Chains A and B, each alone.
Chain A
Amino acid sequence: MNNTIKFKIDAKEIVAEKGKTVLEAARDNGVYIPTLCNFPGVPPKGGCRMCTIKINNRFMTSCTTPAAAGMEIESNTSEISNLRKGIVELLFVSGNHFCPSCEKSGNCELQALAYKYQMMVPKYPYSFPQKDIDASSPKLIKDQNRCVLCQRCMKTIKTDKGERYFSFSKRGSELEVIMDPTLCESMTDEVAQLAMDNCPVGSILKKDIGFVEPIGTRKYDKEPIGTDIDG
């Protein structure tokens, strides 16, 4: 009968439906927890670690942790904000992210998170890795310089039979998301558009269109990331 539970995030009481994750419950209650790899409708895979919270003095990812009654969760503390900022900085130095020349500038979640956490210059040294750009697909460009390995394309862009257009290759610091040569050859415009839209950064670009929407008028140019939730 009673289908709701109550718990706390940073002293704010959260009322949530049973079965929701901490992240979902927080969003429903107007509490913004930053995410990058999370994508509504597909199973979470705590990959980016941005939504890290602390429960009982343990770090957990809110996208994968089921909400439970009575939990006392730390989220917006200085400790956790510093860690989240650290993750953003780490992603910046581990790839080649040059916002001013990026097609996705203003619509990029990584860039928006960097603004949110007031990153000026990352505290870690840049690694300037050598990365490739794969333009072999007739519809898409896959720019590895900008990929943050979030797996959103891998999880959301599939054929009717469930085969993935995008997959991992290798492991560790050499990990890449690559396009399936056969499937991406025959990809439709709709699928290509969806792949670009679902990418949080500028790593998947649809060919033949450039700057449709002028920089300065794009999503995060207007308001900081998360405003739709806690603003």
Chain B
Amino acid sequence: MKEKILEIIGNYNKDKTRLLDMLHDIQNVIGYVDDESILILNQELKISISEIKEVISFYHFYSNEPMGKVNIYLNNSVTSEMHGRGAVLDAFEKECNVTEGSVSADGLFGLFPTSCIGMNDQEPAAIINGKIFTRLTPYRVHEIVKSLGNGIKIEDLIYEGDGGGRNSLPEIHSMVCNNIRRRGALLTHDYKFFDTTNNLLSEKSPQEVIQIVEDSNIRGRGGAGFPTGIKWKFGRKAEGEHKVIICNADEGEPGTFKDRVILTEFPEMVFEGMVIAAYSVGADIGLLYLRYEYKYLLNYLNGILDKMRDKHLLGNNIDGIEAFNFDIRIQLGAGAYICGEESALIESLEGKRGEPRDKPPFPVEKGYLNYPTIVNNVETLASIPKILTKGADWFVGLGDKASTGTKILSISGDCNYPGIYEVEWGTSIKDVLDMCGAFNIQAVQVGGPSGALIGSKDFGRNLSYTDLPTGGSIIIFGEQRNLLSDVVMNFMEFFIEESCGSCSTCRNMPAVLKKRFTKILDGKGVQSDIDDLINWSELLKVSRCGLGQTAANPITTSINNFRHLYDRLIQPGIEFDTGFCLEDSVKDSCSAVGRQPTLHHM
């Protein structure tokens, strides 16, 4: 086995920045990263054992302990819960003889929860040995586990058939469905792939290209909304031995799955967007950071890159343009929402824990390996080729003034037709609900857990950078849902699970808030508890990155928009309650000694 590990390390030229790849490969061979491999890594890479373990223990999909032969990662996003996760979990636990979060005694099955895997429109979904299984039911679980027990390979278990579109290509062979329900400027097939690179690029200077992008007024689609043209301009000006274009395909915000669909159906446009970006800023290194959950797309995407190399759309002197050298490598993530934050993503690309960097300096000055780096979202990059071919005016004609173009929404939850909807910016929430067949709606989560929970009084508001901004996640909750115990709680647990922990406020405050929130849910709350939640949330604003800064949003936006739900739970006329319950606190010891005490209440 030592030879094999040495070979893996050698495949990456003993380059520490490729530690993530080495760990993936080791885990593929051994099933987990064992101490012997860690020792070999330690000797070969000259980093201490605990520094290697530091990386392993950061990412959800690595393990330093033996895993099952079959490992099931069951999505625990709120829509998964809404569509029957509980029963599916029970079925897995029973059929596999395992409790969630552990490996079965016979070592056959590992069963683990995992944060949103980007399948919110086909829940409950799970990743089983790297393959995605969607729309699970207890019956289906029974079939899958039985078949696995009979020695049937995981690949052959996708007998619903493939999910349509390119999901049925042999390179993907996946049951994931695209569910594209509404196509707009970006998703229509009216563009010949690589047209811009083949016909336009050699005629235009980098500055001219940047000008068109700036004139189109396109802003980042990853959530923060920074104007893309301006970012590229900074990138052009920045000086460095190398420059880097990164495509952010970490898509971790619960409820978003549009990047997955773009990468399945239009990867050519994403990669072409990267080539155009590289030409504009003068970059030579290209990286696409693909979240681990989308590993099933990896071979397929690499195949497209190979084809581009064959056509001289990547490599040296691209498209005959002298000294335009650029290539793209896909880096697989390992399970961490925070790695979607651009500086954490860069740390991860360098083979480290995904902890956000302090800004300034921004990536555009000092990014990947300290080279000037542009990070753009999948959708942003996919929009670029058409903008260049059809012109900035065409793009400005779509959407509204501050928010040009279209936005691809990922819609899930209580509606008849969950899926992908491309709408012009400026579309109202009411229209969105009408589009997807949503009736008797209590609330809509706009922008994922880090966004806002809004109620019917706000359904007239519009999606735009100036009103309701969104990276595209729209989760719909019907009248029957318990917004506080089911939705807000799920989101708070998400932030607690996904905080990197390196800054004090984000590491500690969400748990404090959750505790006080739970007190209210348990019927022990008083009026001042609501005020506490509002006031304490303020401290999160000094967190280092967007995760911490928005981690109280589920609580604060639900208090703002659904105050009556809180008020209803508060004990009327009582000003103080510690929340402490003597009976509950001594329950365990009572059952241990088998006696009931006489409790003296104050």
Contact = CB atoms under 8 A, between A and B. Distances in A.
Contacts of A149: 501-502, 504, 507
A84 B502 CA distance: 17
B58 A171 contact: yes
A87 interface: yes
Contacts of B507: 94, 149, 172-173, 175
B390 to A, nearest CB: 37
Contacts of B542: 49, 52, 59, 83, 87
B353 interface: yes
A226 interface: no
Given A163-B51, A164-B48, A171 B501 contact: yes
A225 B512 CA distance: 28
A30 interface: no
A64 interface: yes
B503 interface: yes
B53 interface: yes
A168 interface: yes
B45 to A, nearest CB: 10
Contacts of A196: none
B500 interface: yes
Interface in B34-53: 46-51, 53
A47 interface: yes
A167 B516 contact: no
A48 interface: yes
Contacts of B57: 168-171
B358 A171 contact: no
Interface string B511-532: 1100110000000000000001
Interface in B312-356: 336, 353
Interface in A151-207: 151, 159, 161, 163-175, 178-183
A175 B504 contact: no
A46 B49 contact: no
Contacts of A172: 496-501, 507
B496 to A, nearest CB: 6
B571 interface: no
A164 B358 contact: no
Interface residues of B, number: 40
B238 to A, nearest CB: 16
Interface residues of A, number: 47
Contact of A44 (B50, B53, B358, B501): B358
Contacts of B51: 163-164, 167, 180
A124 B499 contact: no
Contacts of B512: 90, 93-94, 124-125, 127
B511 A173 contact: yes
B358 A48 contact: no
Interface stretch (B106-114, B200-208, B217-225, B533-541): B533-541
Given A59-B541, A172-B497, A161 B54 contact: no
Contacts, number: 135
User: From DSSP, what is the main secondary structure of chain B's interface residues?
Assistant: helix
B496 A173 contact: yes
Given A65-B360, A66-B360, A168-B54, A47 B503 contact: yes
B544 A164 contact: no
Interface in A40-74: 44-49, 52, 59, 61, 64-66
B504 A48 contact: yes
A59 B47 CA distance: 35
B498 to A, nearest CB: 7
Interface string B54-88: 10011000000000000000000000000000000
Given A168-B353, A180-B50, A45 B508 contact: no
A91 B47 CA distance: 31
B515 A125 contact: yes
B509 interface: yes
Contacts of A45: 358, 502
A148 interface: yes
A83 B539 contact: yes
A163 B358 contact: no
A86 interface: yes
B505 interface: yes
Most A C-beta atoms less than 10 A away, residue of B353, B496, B507? B507
Contacts of B501: 149, 168, 170-175
A11 B538 CA distance: 25
B360 A182 contact: no
B358 A167 contact: no
Interface string B187-228: 000000000000000000000000000000000000000000
A24 to B, nearest CB: 15
B543 interface: yes
Contacts of A173: 496, 499, 501, 507-508, 510-511
A171 B54 CA distance: 9
A124 B512 CA distance: 7
A56 to B, nearest CB: 13
A167 B536 CA distance: 30
Nearest to A125: B515
Nearest to A54: B542
B503 A90 contact: no
Contact of B54 (A123, A167, A181): A167
In order of increasing CB-CB distance, the 5 nearest A-B pairs are A175-B501, A167-B50, A64-B358, A180-B50, A172-B499
5 contacts: A49-B504, A49-B505, A90-B512, A164-B51, A180-B49
